[in-house]
Structure 1
Amino acid sequence: MTRLLVECTHVFQHPKVNSGIQRVVRNVINQLPPSVDGVECIPVVMLKGKLYRVLKLGSLNIPFFDGLMTFAGRLERLAHGFWQLHQRLDKRCTSKFAKRLLYVAYRLTALACFSVPLRLIDQVNQYQLPKRCSPLQHQPGDQLVLLDSSWHTDFFPFAERLKRDGVGIVSVIYDLIPLTHPQFYDTRLAQVFNEWFDWITQTADGYVAISATVRDQVREELQRRVGPAKADALWFDYFHLGSELDLSEARATVEPRLTQMFDTPEPVFLMVSTIEPRKNHDYLLDAFELAWAAGSTVRLCIAGRIGWKCDALLARVRNHPQLNKRLFMFNDLSDTSLEYAYSHARSLVFPSRVEGFGLPLVEAMQRGLPAMGSDIPIFREIGGEFMAYFDLAKPQTLADLVVRYENSTQFPAARNVADWQWIGWREASAQLAERTLRNLQPTPAVAQRQHANCP
């Protein structure tokens, strides 16, 4: 009997994290249908070589444990920042002795300040496990859907054992950007992702991407790595993501500085994303500086947590003459505050160089907020004629769109965003399950459809 075992290990272990993939995993799991066409759908985690059914994905709302998990999340971010600092210092060292000394100092500090405390927190959190999950025995014919960000986990040997026991492996692919554009990431992260993708090409029986664009890229990459014959024996499909901000609370407080920004009549253009190189914030600033130089009074609001390789960009923002006048930045907005921003902005602007999906576009447009985006294939897939597009080689094209919309009540897109429709997370979760199942025993018609841009 086939069962869909939908894996969510990282989000289970870090329920307070709310960035892109974590938001997707949490919403898909929370909206996962009990069954599809008679096939049971079970959220699972893999911990220390064992499989567990998830009873509660989120925390238990016990202040002590919640505080501990919040502290662990901050400690992990500090550990990552400390590692980045070590990487920068290592590049500046010219002597082998200095490099070695720096490495030893880094390892000792990381062990004492980060590794040991995080391991102790993990041990304390084990007391919560019986209330959040229960042991589950796998069966031949089960399908393990690797939904979460599994490239930094340690369950690969266990997943391989499951496959030897007759469990199918399905990999959800969010994007291939660390492979296709490694310059946007730290070297080690790109290496880890590449090693994971090597493993998944040898392990997975099928692939579900989050867009048709990424599905086609995955198929091409598999053909390149394993050859057309082996790639043709696999299956490739996709599903689309939902749009609700699930952590938004109607009675929660909106960031006061955010409400003050929207209190003045000048229109606000909103950018929502992690601050990292591929999101192209420098282009965004270039374009708005051109608009301001031409006399525009619009304001730009950048919302997103601080990521990596963005020191120069942050310095540019913090030293900008328009900061807190026409340029604003928020790095820790809640879903409630983000909902408020979507509801009060004039337009979303999204100049990303490359994406697997572009969730902020969907979140904005589903709320009736028109969007301007890079002219890249995935944004065309999502926005169609309802979005306005600009040339990534020419910041002036975005500046012209901004000024044009500032001076007109007509958004510069072929069709009105009010007529645009998108699925919610319930439909997205069901779509993932249904499209996985339809590929397990494909009929000729289904097999033909999965090689086309089918809806």
Structure 2
Amino acid sequence: MGSGPRLSGANHGQTIMRSKDQPASAGADDTYHAYQIENLLSELSYTQRLADSLAGKVCNRPDVQFLGRHIQQFYWTVTRLVGLGRLHDGSASKPPKRPLLKPPVRPVLERTDIVPASGPRILIDVTLTYRNDNGTGIQRVAREIAQASIAHPGVFPVIIENGQLVSYFRHSTLPDVIQIEPGDRLLLLDAGWFLLDEYLPVVQDVARRGGANVCCVHDLIPLLYPGTVSGSSTRIFRSWLDAILPHCEAVVAISRSVAEDFINYASEHALPRNPALRVGWFHLGADFKTEASGPVSSQVRAICTGTPFFLTVGTLEPRKNHAIALKAFDLLWAAGIDVRYVIVGKMGWIVQALRHRIIQHPEFGRRLFWLQSAGDDDLSFLYRHAAALIQPSIAEGFGLPIVEAAHAGTRVIASNIRVFCEIGGDAVSYFDPMDAGALAALVKEALTNPRPASPVPALSWKDATERLLRLIKDGSYPLAV
């Protein structure tokens, strides 16, 4: 189970590799392939229904029109699910599309306790968050660590502008342009793989000037689970690793599970890399706004009143596995159990059938809710009033909603993938991510026992940032490839 192959012999300072005779985490692979098949069938069934409804309107031969459309959609769906979308989406012959950029307005830092650097510095890259902050996922991590890190002497969040490193914050004591000095370390914290042509010269310059680069790996989902990502993401991400890793002294992952996934993948797929590359990990923080400081929407207040509800947080995308949770609630509603299910997350990719299933569901707006634009105050309120958080993912790098819910004192029910077991320990109730009946049973249990016996361990962002910086400063990376 989990986000990638399980390793053995994880001793401090050792190179960790799976024996050639050891199976490659068959349970995780079986779960992933089963999910691919189920999602494919769902998407094809939806496509067929849609084609059936349109065929009679587009030509005089609906059978021919439907057949051609169905074959084309089948080809598109299958190739995307197995990571070959480039065969038809044009990405193989086009440069990757860059994210939309915001007007460059660096935030002003309103602090008076900034201590000037003395000696080597740690520079934390937040370029994509600065340009296009979606407020979720990696951008949320980058923003929180940037805010927490500035209190540490010699630590500066930076961005790339015109081929130079520039201070992310504006402050009278901070230089605008950062000149690399021997001993400096650049932490590639943000999702820079979409901007490789900008990052590579900077990374090379850091190494050339006697500095060092540290690459943060949030997950290896585009490589290990290509059927769950869109377009050319797999190719872009692999190109990033191929180009950047040879110039890095270390990799830091956001969980031990991801660190082990990286070691296995780098070894088995011969990733180009610095032969002395070390690997470490840290855990993310969660001092999310557990006390709402702003107005909570009337819709969220209504959801939190009366009938108990369960919450899932995350973009609607294949690996989040919302479909199995909805199936579990269908079982509960059919059994006459009065409970609500709330999904918080934006619309993602390869889930048209699931989207249709949600918005056409007879319980939609009654006991089934999908909030695509909930702000921090709404989400905080939902965490604190939910009977439990449900995270049914088949693959994750960490699982930030689990620690956010834990920080709010909310029970957690999660799929038994490896990284969730790492984060939640014995405090989480686990289920097989393909077993809707098992999830339904845990929901029924939570209705009668609304709080866990022990909370999920949760770091603050301050603590998480301190651990990350200590790891980089000390160079105490415990693993090697």
Once the 2 structures are TM-superposed, how far is the Cα of residue 292 of structure 1 from its aligned partner? Answer: 1.3
> Residue by residue, what CA displacement relative to the aligned partner does 1:264-297 show, whole Å, maximum 9, x if unpaired?
2x21000111111110011111111111112211
2:321 paired residue among 280, 283, 287: 280
After superposition, what is the alpha-carbon deviation per residue over 1:86-141, rounded to whole angstroms, capped at 9, x for unaligned?
xxxxxxxxxxxxxxxxxxxxxxxxxxxxxxxxxxxxxxxxxxxx999711211122
Task: Tell me which residue corresponds to 1:32.
Answer: 149
Q: Which residue of 2 aligns with 1:87?
A: none
Instruction: Determine which of 131, 136, 156 is the counterpart of 1:13.
Output: 131
1:394 lines up with 2:453 in the alignment: no
* Alignment partners' CA distance in 2, 1:312 and 1:305: 15
5 Å-filtered alignment, 1:135-214, equals 135-153=177-195, 154-214=198-258
Offset, 1:162: 2.4
Asked if 1 retains the 8 angstrom alpha-carbon contact of 2:278 and 2:480, the reply is no
1:165: how far off? 2.1
Seen in structure 2, the aligned counterparts of structure 1 residues 144 and 231 have a Cα distance that, compared at 3 Å, is closer
The one-letter code matched in structure 1 to 2:469 is: A
Q: Residues of 2 paired with 1:344 and 1:227: CA distance?
A: 46
Deviation readout 1:190-241 (Å, 9 max, x if unpaired): 211111121223222100000011111112222224489x676211001111
Matched, 1:333 2:374: yes
User: Percent of aligned positions with the same letter in both sequences?
Assistant: 33
Q: Does the Cα contact within 8 Å between 1:276 and 1:310 map onto a contact in 2? A: yes
Structure 1: 4+ residue segments shifted above 6 A: 130-133
**Cα distance, 1:151 vs structure 2:** 0.5
Partners of 1:139 and 1:225 lie apart in 2 by 34
Q: Distance in 2 between matches of 1:168 and 1:321?
A: 56
Give the Å deviation of 1:163: 1.7
Residues 1:245 and 2:285 are matched in the alignment: no
2:379 and 2:229 map into 1 onto residues whose CA distance is 26
For the 8 Å contact 1:54–1:133, the answer to whether it is kept is no
Give the TM-score normalised by the residue count of structure 2.
0.71
C-alpha spacing 1:145/1:10, structure 2 compared with 1 (3 Å): same
> 2:42: which partner in 1?
none
CA deviations on 1:238-273 (whole Å, 9 max, x unpaired) are 111111226x88442112111111222x21000111
Map 1:37-436 → 2, pairs under 5 A: 40-56=154-170, 134-153=176-195, 154-226=198-270, 233-245=276-288, 250-264=292-306, 266-406=307-447, 408-409=448-449, 415-417=453-455, 420-436=456-472
Q: Secondary structure at the match of 1:187?
A: coil
Provide structure 2 residue ranges, at least 5 long, that are not aligned to the other structure: 1-118
Greater helix content:
1
Report the CA distance shift for 1:156/1:232 in structure 2 as closer, same or farther (over 3 A): closer
Counterpart CA distance in 2 for 1:251 and 1:349 is 25
Distance 1:190 1:8, change over 3 A: same
| 1:328-359 deviation digits (Å, cap 9, x = unpaired) | 11000000000000011100000000000000
Separation in 1, partners of 2:336, 2:378 = 30
Cα distance change on mapping 1:34 and 1:277 into 2, 3 Å: same
2:29 paired residue number:
none
Contact 2:346 2:372 in 1 (8 A): yes
Structure 1 Cα separation of the partners of residues 375 and 193 of structure 2: 27
Q: Would you say the 8 A contact 2:292–2:380 is kept in 1?
A: no
Moved more, 332-341 or 248-257: 248-257
The alignment partner of 2:232 has SS state of helix
The number of residues matched between the two structures is 361
Measured in 1, the distance between the counterparts of 2:274 and 2:179 equals 31
Query: Are residues 169 and 258 of structure 1, via their aligned partners in 2, closer, same or farther at CA, if it must alter by over 3 Å?
Result: same
SS class of match (2:457): coil
TM superposition score normalised by structure 1: 0.75
Matched position secondary structure for 1:382: helix
The offset of 1:410, in angstroms, is 5.7
C-alpha contact 2:247 2:274 (8 A) present in aligned 1: no
**How many Å apart are 1:451 and its aligned residue?**
6.6
Alpha-carbon spacing, 1:142–1:251, altered in 2? closer, same or farther (3 Å): closer
Q: How many angstroms apart in 1 are the aligned matches of 2:137 and 2:271?
A: 32
Report the CA distance between 1:416 and its aligned residue: 2.4
- Helix, strand or coil at the partner of 1:163: helix
Q: CA RMSD in A?
A: 2.4
Aligned pair in 2 of structure 1 residues 399, 133: CA closer, same or farther (>3 Å)? farther
Task: Answer yes or no: is the 8 Å Cα contact 1:139–1:167 preserved in 2.
Answer: yes
Give 1:319 deviation, angstroms: 0.3
SS in 1 for 2:363: coil
The question of whether the paired residues in 2 share the 8 Å contact of 1:34 and 1:42 is answered with: no
CA gap of 1:274–1:52, structure 2 versus 1, over 3 A, is: same
What's the counterpart of residue 120 of structure 1? none
Letter in 2 for 1:149: A
- What is the CA–CA distance in structure 1 between the aligned matches of 2:242 and 2:222, rounded to whole Å? 13
Counterpart residue number, 1:107: none
Pairwise CA distance, 1:187: 2.9
Counterpart secondary structure, 2:288: coil
Alignment match, 2:96: none
Distance 1:337 1:26 in 2: 20
Aligned residue for 2:40?
Answer: none
**Structure 1 Cα separation of the partners of residues 337 and 394 of structure 2:** 25
SS in 2 for 1:269: strand
Distance 1:12 1:322 in 2: 39
The CA deviation at 1:30 is 0.2
SS of the residue corresponding to residue 144 of structure 1 reads strand
Q: CA deviation at 1:12?
A: 1.7
